[in-house]
């Protein structure tokens, strides 16, 4: 009973902190501007199934893609055994699912979980080597400071330890099952605690760990099995609390994020509603250009200066970012040594959003004298972007760094009248000549005279 109470307390505390963080993230995302992503539900479901569940974009890089699928499938399926552990912790049972009467199915599932646990462990070890030994450029970009590097390693090491604990728990459990069965068969008395270990499960992988534990006494085995059980479940509960603060929160957010993906063809830049409205007024001969504006309407903002000027979907993207660096590794600006890194754009947006969320007063962002533009993301970064959409295409969970870059640029141009000299010259030419070139429309055909002469 004491063990059950301790388990319930740990489970309740971890659930509370997980839920608290989820509420904070939801509140922060809701600071963004509204945008409708409820259209074309069938295409959205298909996108989510292909990209988030099917991992279609991950396998474009086969090595990391296949390893990620192993971890992903293992995470999903092994949680069935975690559910059994939670039930055992609450009710004080042991292998509760084995007592449902489906012995063959239970043995098959436990065997599959063990194989998956080993594959997850192996994949995480390879990922650790790739991150810390193999010199892969995207893992060492300037934005990958101490915390982003540590975050990835913490999760990978935790996964390795949790899988080892699960396999060790099963190994000692299997030995205890055999010894309890042997004592019962010989007619010797079996303690109530040892009788707890009913014959259940198939252990194709953990049986290879038996040499580590075969020489232990029954008491030592029971202590080891219980220690591994507690280590495994406490690790999972700690993981539950930690993940919402980590880049690994994409485990949960990747599915809704891909569902709410931009469905327009890549390269399409959505128009600003306020600008579209003004153009329509200019083209409407019956419109009154001098009509008084609505006194209750909020002042129109062009582009985005801070996170609350972005849409909720752009903020959702920021929390979904896996920091894998695929976007930066294909960015032509980044590859040619310019300051821009699409991954940093997303990381900066998330960091600024967390900062704004912590400083809310009655649900309203207070003016702390800082903004996403300039304090986190520089103008040089923004103007280095070629708007080629390579980062959007490369992202395994359909994050769109380009949309944030464009909105920040829009603010610079339309609110602050700031742009590089080359772009300013182009704007002037369009205004004066109706085209980006520095000569009037009447002279556009003159080049053909030289061809004909």
Q: Flag whether pLDDT at 448 surpasses 70.
A: yes
| pLDDT tens by residue, 211-223 | 999 889 888 998 9
| pLDDT tens by residue, 251-262 | 999 999 999 999
Residue 75 Cα distances to 116, 124, 175, 378, angstroms: 9, 12, 26, 38
Average pLDDT, the chain: 89
- Which residues touch 419 (CB under 8 Å, ≥6 apart)? 383, 412, 413, 427
Q: In sequence order, what DSSP letters do the residues of 155-182 get, joined into one string?
A: HHHHHHHHHHHHHHHHHHHHHHHHHHHH
Q: Flag whether pLDDT at 198 surpasses 90.
A: no
Q: Flag whether pLDDT at 43 surpasses 90.
A: yes
Whole-number pLDDT of residue 189: 67
Higher pLDDT, 6 or 267: 6
Q: Flag whether pLDDT at 192 surpasses 70.
A: no
**179/442 Cα distance (integer angstroms):** 98
CATH class of 273-285+301-439: mainly alpha
**173/88 Cα distance (integer angstroms):** 14
Using the structure block, give the residue that is written with the tokens 């646990």: 117
Q: Flag whether pLDDT at 116 surpasses 80.
A: yes
418 DSSP 8-state letter: -
**440/434 Cα distance (integer angstroms):** 8
> Inter-axis angle of helices 218-242 and 2-29, to 10 degrees?
20
Using the structure block, give the residue that is written with the tokens 């029971």: 222
| pLDDT tens by residue, 308-345 | 999 999 999 999 999 999 999 999 999 999 999 999 99
**181/256 Cα distance (integer angstroms):** 49
Mean pLDDT value of segment 81-106: 85
């Amino acid at each position: 009973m004491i063990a059950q109470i301790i388990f319930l307390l740990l489970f309740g505390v971890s659930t509370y902190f997980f839920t608290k963080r989820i509420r904070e993230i939801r509140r922060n995302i809701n600071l963004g501007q509204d945008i409708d992503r409820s259209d074309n539900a069938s295409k959205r479901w298909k996108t989510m199934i292909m990209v988030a569940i099917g991992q279609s974009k991950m396998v474009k890089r086969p090595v990391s893609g296949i390893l990620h699928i192993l971890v992903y499938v293992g995470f999903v399926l092994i949680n069935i055994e975690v559910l059994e552990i939670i039930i055992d912790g609450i009710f004080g049972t042991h292998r509760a699912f084995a007592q449902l009467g489906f012995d063959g199915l239970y043995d098959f599932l436990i065997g599959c979980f063990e194989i998956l646990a080993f594959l997850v462990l192996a994949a995480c070890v390879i990922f650790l080597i790739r991150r810390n030994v193999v010199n892969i450029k995207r893992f060492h970009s300037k934005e990958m400071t101490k915390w982003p590097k540590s975050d990835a390693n913490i999760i990978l090491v935790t996964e390795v330890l949790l899988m080892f604990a699960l396999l060790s728990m099963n190994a000692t459990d299997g030995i205890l099952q055999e010894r309890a069965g042997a004592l019962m068969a010989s007619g010797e008395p079996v303690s109530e605690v040892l009788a707890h270990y009913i014959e259940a499960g198939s252990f194709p992988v953990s049986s290879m760990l038996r040499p580590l534990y075969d020489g232990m006494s029954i008491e030592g085995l029971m202590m080891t099995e219980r220690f591994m059980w507690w280590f495994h479940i406490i690790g999972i509960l700690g993981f539950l609390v930690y993940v919402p603060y980590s880049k690994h929160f994409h485990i949960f957010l990747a599915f809704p994020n891909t569902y709410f993906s931009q469905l327009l063809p890549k390269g399409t830049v959505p128009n600003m509603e306020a600008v579209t409205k003004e153009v329509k007024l200019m083209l409407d001969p019956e419109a009154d250009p001098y009509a008084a504006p609505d006194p209750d309407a909020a002042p129109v903002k062009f582009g985005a200066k801070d996170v609350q000027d972005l849409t909720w979907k752009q903020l959702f993207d920021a929390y979904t970012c896996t920091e894998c660096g695929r976007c930066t590794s294909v960015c032509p600006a980044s590859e040619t040594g310019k300051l821009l890194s699409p991954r940093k754009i997303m990381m900066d947006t998330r960091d600024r959003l967390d900062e704004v969320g912590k400083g809310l007063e009655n649900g309203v962002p207070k003016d702390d004298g800082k903004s996403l533009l300039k304090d986190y993301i520089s103008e040089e970064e923004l103007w280095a972007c070629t708007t080629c959409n390579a980062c959007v295409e490369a992202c395994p969970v359909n994050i769109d760094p380009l949309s944030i870059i464009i909105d920040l640029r829009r603010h610079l141009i339309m609110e602050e009248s700031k742009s590089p000299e080359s772009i300013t010259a182009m704007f002037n030419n369009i205004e004066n000549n109706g085209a980006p070139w520095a000569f009037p429309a009447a002279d556009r055909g003159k080049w053909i005279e030289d061809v004909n002469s």
